Amino acid sequence: MSALLNQSVSSNDLGENIPNYEIKGSKVIDLSKLDVEGLQKELKTAEYRSVEIENLREFIEQALQQMINRNTTRISFSERYQGIINRYNAGSTENEDYYEQLLQLIADLKKENNRAYEEGLTEEELEIYDLLIMGKALTKAEEQKVKLAAKHLYNALLMKKTELMVVEWYKDEQTKALVRDTISSELDKDLPDSYDRVSFNSKTNLLLNHFMDMSVQGYGWIAC
């Protein structure tokens, strides 16, 4: 199993085309290279399952940390993982179910890891998109408009980053207001009518607070 897991682990160099986010630990996990079916077969025939499960858990925790660092809306995967562990520790999950739940989680993480590509977005745009659609029931046409809003907002902020997002910009009320105005202006161009004024303002403030958190904590594209 270790050999299969190691196939998806590389050094801390993500490549020139991928943002080099701050990642705790020295390894970067590429879930696209992971053979989930191979893991299932290996686990079924493993002589020391407890050791293999420990390796699997360490792999999942690293993958979760890196994926959440790129998209905070993925926290639900971390909560799901913790639930699996808690139920097993409480004795309410049989060993076979425990193994299957961990493997299914890995399969779902691999699928999630490819979602940006499937949606036609970058990882940065996907996070903005996910924050915008969170709690909203949208049609396919409306989703496309939100994708445009995410793309345009990310590109607008990236172009103005050196101008607006200076060191500790979040402590200056005037600069914060300029960033909020940029967010509001860009969203207003593309978001569908289903975002009424209350919803629009709520999403604008949500994104502003998120970008502030990224700056304060020093992670993601804003901190690069």
* pLDDT on residue 8: 54
Give the whole-angstrom CA distance, residue 146 versus residue 121: 11
Q: Is residue 35 predicted with pLDDT exceeding 90?
A: no
Kindly indicate the confidence band of residue 25, based on its pLDDT and cuts at 50, 70 and 90.
very low
Per-residue pLDDT of 134-154, as tens digits, reads 999 999 999 999 999 999 999
- 142: number of CA atoms within 13 Å, CB side? 10
Q: What are phi and psi of 88, to 5 degrees?
A: -70, -45
Q: What is the domain partition of the chain in residue ranges?
A: 2-113, 119-223
In terms of Cβ atoms closer than 10 Å to its own Cβ (0-12, 13-18, 19+), residue 138 is middle
- Predicted pLDDT at 34: 76
Q: What pLDDT digit, counting tens, does each position of 7-23 carry?
A: 555 544 433 333 333 33
pLDDT in tens, 201-217: 999 999 999 999 999 99
Q: How far apart are CA 71 and CA 122, in angstroms?
A: 11
Measured CA to CA, the distance from residue 192 to residue 190 in angstroms comes to 6
pLDDT of 202:
98
